[in-house]
Amino acid sequence: MKTSENKSIVTGEHPFEGVCLNGFLVLFLDLLLIAASVALIFQTQLLGDWVIIVSIIGFLSSMLMWAGFMQLEPNEARAMVFFGKYKGTFKKTGYFWVNPFTAKKKLSLRARNLDVKPIKVNDKAGNPIMIGLVLVWRLKDTYKAMFEIDAQTMANSGVQPGAISGDQTVGNRMNAFENFVKIQSDAALRQVAGQYAYDDNEVAESQLTLRGGGEEINQQLVNELNNRLSMAGIEVCEARINYLAYAPEIAAVMLRRQQAAAVIAAREKIVEGAVSMVKMALEKIDNEGIAKFDKEAKVKMVSNLLVVLCADEAAQPIINTGD
């Protein structure tokens, strides 16, 4: 008996299959019922006092029917709950009427942006860095979103006194989901950032870094976020690092280090070019027979050319006019 009961328990989103009627048709019938109930009151002398009871019952029934109307726009959904039991998710757009005793919890399926403010983490090399991201997320599974996490309590905690309208309720509910996404985004960002160095000064050039990783780092963030948010029925469509810098306490030191690395790289390029130019000059002089130098003269010429080509300032040559 317990096995059959467990099999009947729904643990995922499925379409609502209960009674669903055209809202405009039911609205017309409801207004007709109200008009008939009011008209019967004026027929008590002709039909008797029992007409009053019928009129009251008809009027109360028409008022109860108002609770069954609902309107859905594109990319909106309603989680249908009948006395605590999940009956499915309604996603059709339009104006409808369902069982008025069914709770209709409104959810938005539209994509939303979340800008995660920069947080301080340690990269793979142990350097403190500031890193932030921006992501696009949306609800994918309404059942998990409503019943796998305590979204209702989180939403109610943000409701101001007297704010009981449907739009305010769904707004607070979506804000609760956004807060859940933000907390999980911080955790995922810390985990991914700790697996890589800030740049290739700390690791081999062949290894992936936060500054040079680009799409690979972003895709890993998407995968990590989806793993964390799947329990809440939330899907991350895109995630990108939008802020990356060293923490203020080491930013100045790392800037000098980067400047030194740039100077060294520039010097290496200058020396490499100067050596090739000196070699080309000596070969051209020898091949064309412009002049003949002994070994000592070549050494002096190479030294002078390297000084001229590698100097920071413009050279001021001294012309030898002879005796």
Within 10 Å of residue 27's Cβ, how many Cβ atoms?
A: 15
In this prediction, residue 58 carries a pLDDT of: 86
> Which alpha helices (DSSP H) does the chain contain, by range?
2-8, 23-41, 44-47, 50-65, 142-147, 151-157, 166-193, 210-213, 215-229, 248-288, 295-310
Residue 93, token pair as written in the block: 């757009």
For residue 83 the two structure tokens come to 């006395």
Question: Is the model's pLDDT at 165 over the cut of 60?
Answer: no
183 vs 296, residue with greater confidence: 183
One-letter amino acid at 179 equals N
Confidence class of residue 209 from pLDDT cuts 50, 70 and 90? confident
Confidence band of 313 (pLDDT split at 50, 70, 90):
low
- pLDDT for res 37: 83
Cα–Cα distance measured from residue 169 to residue 232, given in angstroms and rounded to the nearest whole number? 19
Full-model pTM: 0.70
- In this structure, of 103-112, 163-172, 234-243, 247-256, the range with the lowest mean pLDDT score is 163-172
pLDDT at 195 over 50: yes
pLDDT at 288: 77
**Residue the block writes with tokens 């027929």:** 43
CA-to-CA separations, 266 to 2, 273, 309, in angstroms, rounded: 76, 11, 13
d(CA 188, CA 227): 10
**Residue 98: strand pairing partners:** 20
**pLDDT over 70 (residue 56):** yes
Q: Under DSSP, is residue 254 helix (H, G, I), strand (E, B) or coil?
A: helix
Higher pLDDT, 85 or 278: 85
In total, the chain counts a number of residues equal to 323
How many C-alpha atoms does 237 have within 13 Å on its Cβ side? 11
At residue 65, φ and ψ (nearest 5 deg) are -65, -25
